[in-house]
């Protein structure tokens, strides 16, 4: 899914920041934070596109893997990885706290994270606190729909076994309407949404207008 997600991110952020989407390094001069970065699958291409990237994750093993992989690439080695969270409210024992440090970024990106936190409203407020005025916020998650239950839990976890069983809880999924409202309350206005479609014949993901299963949202922090 990463290439499809990057297509959306590149398009929306280049348009918002007035950058050339066809440039090899369109994000030169911009500061991004990748919240829930895992092993760095998104942080690395963002760094290659010129962004100054901070990647954070609550799992120390993920950060260790991300650092080891980034060291193989001189460009990716510039990424600052931290075992921490955006805000103390979304975990019990963060080793560091970016909100308390009063760090801010031009773009705050949290992909497939919000459905795993216990307090989504507080999480969105922490993302907003990390975003500069008129900065960008990008969130991807799973819709709370029967189609999402069938494809994300039944198919992905039990039939295809792409993910460990129990990775997702259907009750924790967030509808697009709920996400828009939650972000509005956190001073972020959602400007654009898109969905993802998987073609089993090619094994490729693509961007679609259908947001009934997995979707991604681009928002702007209000001044």
User: Is the pLDDT reported for residue 92 higher than 50?
Assistant: no
DSSP designation for 58: S
Asked if residues 58 and 94 have their Cβ atoms less than 8 Å apart, the reply is: yes
* Least confident residue range of 30-44, 95-109, 116-130: 95-109
Q: What average pLDDT does the chain have?
A: 88
Delimit the domains of the chain by residue range. Answer: 2-221
Question: Dmax over Cα atoms in the chain, in whole Å?
Answer: 47
Full 3-state SS string of 90-107: HCCCCCCECCCCCCCEEE
Question: Is pTM, for the whole model, over 0.75?
Answer: yes
CATH no. for 2-221? 3.40.50.150
Give 58 or 94, the one with higher predicted confidence.
Answer: 58
């Amino acid at each position: 899914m990463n290439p499809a997600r990057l297509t959306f991110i590149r398009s929306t952020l280049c348009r918002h920041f007035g950058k050339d989407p066809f440039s090899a390094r369109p994000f030169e001069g911009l500061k991004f934070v990748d919240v829930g970065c895992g092993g760095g699958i998104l942080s690395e291409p963002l760094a290659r596109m010129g962004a100054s990237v901070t990647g954070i994750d609550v799992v120390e093993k993920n950060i260790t893997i991300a650092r080891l992989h980034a060291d193989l690439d001189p460009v990716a080695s510039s990424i600052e990885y931290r075992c921490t969270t955006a805000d103390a409210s979304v975990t019990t024992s963060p080793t560091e706290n970016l909100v308390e440090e009063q760090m801010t970024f031009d773009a705050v990106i949290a992909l497939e994270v919000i459905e795993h936190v216990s307090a989504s409203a507080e999480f969105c407020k922490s993302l907003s606190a990390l975003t500069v005025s008129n900065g960008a916020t990008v969130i991807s998650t799973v819709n709370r729909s029967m189609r999402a239950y069938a494809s994300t839990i039944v198919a992905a976890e039990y039939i295809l076994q792409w993910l460990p069983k129990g990775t997702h809880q259907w009750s924790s999924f967030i509808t697009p309407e709920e996400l828009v409202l939650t972000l509005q309350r956190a001073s972020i206005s959602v400007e654009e949404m898109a969905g993802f479609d998987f073609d089993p014949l090619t094994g490729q993901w693509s961007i679609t207008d259908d947001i009934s299963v997995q979707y991604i949202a681009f928002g702007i922090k209000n001044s």
